Structure 1
């Protein structure tokens, strides 16, 4: 099979991610004696500078990791919660029935910093100053402006100049959109990190990291965030001007956590995901449904294959809508053999057009009341409408919105990490002028309706789409992988995994293979729309397959040949370490030896 680049093979270390500067940074850490955790953290902070349209310091990060010393998989939750005053009544009093997709009202506690530092403290070996040095260098000296960074800033130029002047000061140097292949610096962010290091002096590495978290969540960073939220107001995607709700107490009362993963065994592989405060279990539910089909005997990427995988996705994501959230979720029932055997009977020969959640353990499902917004609703059109209201990849028409990053690392000791940082996009919220970054907008995933698992509640985590993946093979750590893409993450990642398990492809072949996904279920992002029956396929898929899918009732929309999915992966395979990265977008790379 044709591949755009080789699958990397070696025995020292591998890093794969969505930007070459992050991959190179991670590999340089491994070369200088750091372990996989040190490398991932350094790469993660570089991603905030190199891909500011896809993540930032005000965002969040979930991480799945394998510690060779502990011989176990752990989840690090770097997803912050809602402010203490963020109630449904509070938003209703502002005339809102849906959380805006941009601006201060959509902010949760920025958890990325706490998540990265918790992993560094518990499993890493490097100091804060060492892991931040590459990010500080790039923030001070500039990063190459990708075409997509330039296009993103151009899409919000009017908004920045007219409504968000602090963002214009940061992202419009000289008052202009930075051109592709020029340099873009963020000296204010560099100064923030230098001050953070200076105020975190301690006699031990662990003491320094603890002090840094305190400075971030209780010191000058928290103070600047709280003051900005309380004393400023900005136009957001509701079309109105709103201030923020985050306070110093919200930041001081939050901390990153280490949790057990949810798992599912599939054909000799144990797949590990986050809990249902993220969408990760939907990957496991798809496996549970597909276990009853002989995909190995089905023509890979043939009509039967794509139809079956798509219909399983529709059922699993319907359960996501009804059952997932930072709440008491019946995950054991959702992943049980009996439940999925019953659900599997709903997959027929024709495409379903309905959203059909199940009744795990006999419970009655309840779906949100999905909003119906006109095409000219505030925030959806107009010269000043904030972009970045969703989290797809770059659309076919060239529109660029908020998205996500990913990084995978494996070292010579056997440690492995899969991390999906996101949020705090430059276009998501006005830049806090004293810090050089903006707040995230993950609260847009809450529902402003009572009684749902994903209903807005003070302190609750939004039901995020961020979904790193990890898999063991025959009980041994095998694969760390993931992708940006919002709701598509656990479709594209699943397709990649199935290509390895059933398609017999290697890592690079599986990434390069034609990709597909459905848009059948409601989006997690403002304005929460859905497109029942719609399937996107890269137009490298056989035309006969597309015709057969349409005959079965799928509304197939062919996409550009290299436009869906941005996967990366690292693996431990016998005596070798392996890695591969996505060619789409011309910025993802793997490095290793």
Structure 2
């Protein structure tokens, strides 16, 4: 593949922001140009993403954030809220459910995004709360040109909104009509809410106190009270085909603040790669890098069959360990999973042909409890799906197949995720992967203007699994930002939407950048692929054994080689896999150069550097 790219790798000195929507990138850059930090820029961009990509994230969602202050090691702000106190296995058994529905109110957890963004602003930023909320309030109040995918998503949801979710119809079907792509769309309720929060906060005497007042308004005040009231009183239709009330209450939100944690990391050549802990799927990338370090991955053609095979087989092994061992507040043997002896045992399972089975390991001699393996199509969905999409499933949406949201195997619309990465002139870096609160997954809460997260669908409703449902724990999320050091110095901040595919696409990016010398934009543009050889993290939790989806830009020789090795290959559109947003920094003596790239897939993400 030549070095031709869809866009240039951007370079500058002041700073860079890369996000999945251009309006978020520009909002973040405006903070950098005002003299604020990458942390302030990320917060402003994050709040804008909630407004301009409501089919992919919202104020009622969640966000893990990896924060790297200049001259320091990274830390993690876990904006993943826990399950409610009333979310028990007995409760779901009483309701006659063996899976947590992917839509409605039952899968709602504490919405952690607001708390995580404000924690980042309070502890590391310099801007005032009103500065970072101003762009989001502007677009919510005065409107933003709605992108085609939002209009298409609302169109697919119209019947459900009209029939079951009238509060969503009131917001997303103005004058009873589906919004037209390119026309202005407004969310006045969110604008009003943020103005009320600022009014409450501005009475405090210091910047930190104003942020604390806003947090209290959300988690101990009117927002929590309204959420709890709605979940307790409204019976909402969900993908189970029935109506259910929610389990989340104001008491579940009261006192909640995001956990501040140390990330996990592994050394890979001259690079140290940092990820969130095993309450996320982040360690999958670390395990896959360990597995690949003992192979010929550095020598093979980065667009050839050997590369795809090695990455896919390593991913299968890491994902099997994810579903056997990862969870929040579980006895996760993470040190062993990342250790050299364990890695060597697992490397021996990588053969010349595609694995047809899911094989978790036995760290410390422990036997894995593994969730059910249901083939695709096992569960018929009565209506809308509720998870992040796996792309290119032989289903053609009514418009185009490029980018998100995609359709699942049954044709059900699913939500996805967004990304913002930022770096500034001082060397501060941040990577954040917001998601949840999708307009198509849960009804709008009247008076608040947003939907609740449905992340609780990632719990299993059976005893003894690392990610079994229990009250007060975080669901094992797919959200997985990444930070990379090179030679001991902060180098890259990146992430992508894509559910179970997030770490798969980030892995391919890193390998091509590190070993093949692709620049940031080239590595983003390169043909991508993924496997569904794993229990999906999203309802209805199905598996595609030996599956391998390739973008059409891979050559026929590569495709036939992989099929001959036993991979069940499906061909996606040429530009269908991933939405990476990447920033970086290089040092030349005392000089710093910032870099950025963004994904052309979906024609929406944008990077800015100056």
Could you tell me the TM-score, scaled by structure 2's length?
0.95
Residue matched to 1:306: 308
| RMSD between aligned residues | 1.2
Correspondence list, 1:32-51, <5 A? 32-51=34-53
Structure 1: distance between partners of 2:91 and 2:510: 43
Structure 2: distance between partners of 1:487 and 1:30: 32
Structure 2: distance between partners of 1:9 and 1:374: 46
Correspondence list, 1:67-78, <5 A? 67-68=69-70, 71-78=72-79
Deviation (angstroms), 1:372: 6.7
Structure 2: distance between partners of 1:361 and 1:300: 34
SS of equivalent residue, structure 1 residue 85: coil
Greater Cα shift, 506-515 or 302-311: 302-311
Matched, 1:439 2:442: no
Matched, 1:249 2:261: no
Matched, 1:592 2:609: yes
Residue matched to 2:466: 453
Deviations 1:497-519, CA, capped at 9 Å, x for gaps: 11111121000000000001111
Matched, 1:522 2:531: no
Residue matched to 2:401: none
Residue matched to 2:545: 532
SS of equivalent residue, structure 2 residue 74: strand
Deviations 1:527-572, CA, capped at 9 Å, x for gaps: 0011101101111012101110000100111110011011010001
Structure 2: distance between partners of 1:445 and 1:374: 18
SS of equivalent residue, structure 1 residue 28: helix
Matched, 1:476 2:489: yes
Matched, 1:541 2:554: yes
Structure 2: distance between partners of 1:542 and 1:523: 28
- Say if 1:455 and 1:88 are closer, same or farther in 2 by CA, change over 3 A: same
Deviations 1:378-424, CA, capped at 9 Å, x for gaps: xx14xxx1244443458651234200000000000100000000000
Deviation (angstroms), 1:230: 0.6
Displaced runs of 4+ in structure 1, greater than 2 A? Answer: 369-377, 386-396
Structure 1: distance between partners of 2:357 and 2:376: 20
Residue matched to 1:361: 364
Residue matched to 2:477: 464
Deviation (angstroms), 1:366: 1.1
Correspondence list, 1:68-467, <5 A? 68=70, 71-201=72-202, 202-326=204-328, 327-370=330-373, 377=380, 380-381=381-382, 385-392=383-390, 397-398=396-397, 399=407, 400-467=413-480
Paired residue total: 587
SS of equivalent residue, structure 1 residue 499: helix
Deviation (angstroms), 1:127: 1.1
Structure 2: distance between partners of 1:371 and 1:255: 36
Q: Contact 1:394–1:401 at 8 Å: present in 2 too?
A: no
Structure 2: distance between partners of 1:68 and 1:479: 13
2:510 corresponds, among 468, 473, 497, to 497
Q: Contact 2:386–2:539 at 8 Å: present in 1 too?
A: no
Q: Contact 1:38–1:124 at 8 Å: present in 2 too?
A: yes
Name structure 2 gaps, 5 residues minimum: 398-406, 408-412
Deviation (angstroms), 1:463: 0.2
Matched, 1:487 2:490: no
Matched, 1:581 2:598: yes
Residue matched to 2:8: 6
Deviations 1:34-80, CA, capped at 9 Å, x for gaps: 111110000000000000000000000000111015x1101010000
Greater Cα shift, 398-407 or 531-540: 398-407
SS of equivalent residue, structure 1 residue 477: strand
- Say if 1:344 and 1:394 are closer, same or farther in 2 by CA, change over 3 A: closer
Q: Contact 1:87–1:458 at 8 Å: present in 2 too?
A: yes
Deviation (angstroms), 1:253: 3.4
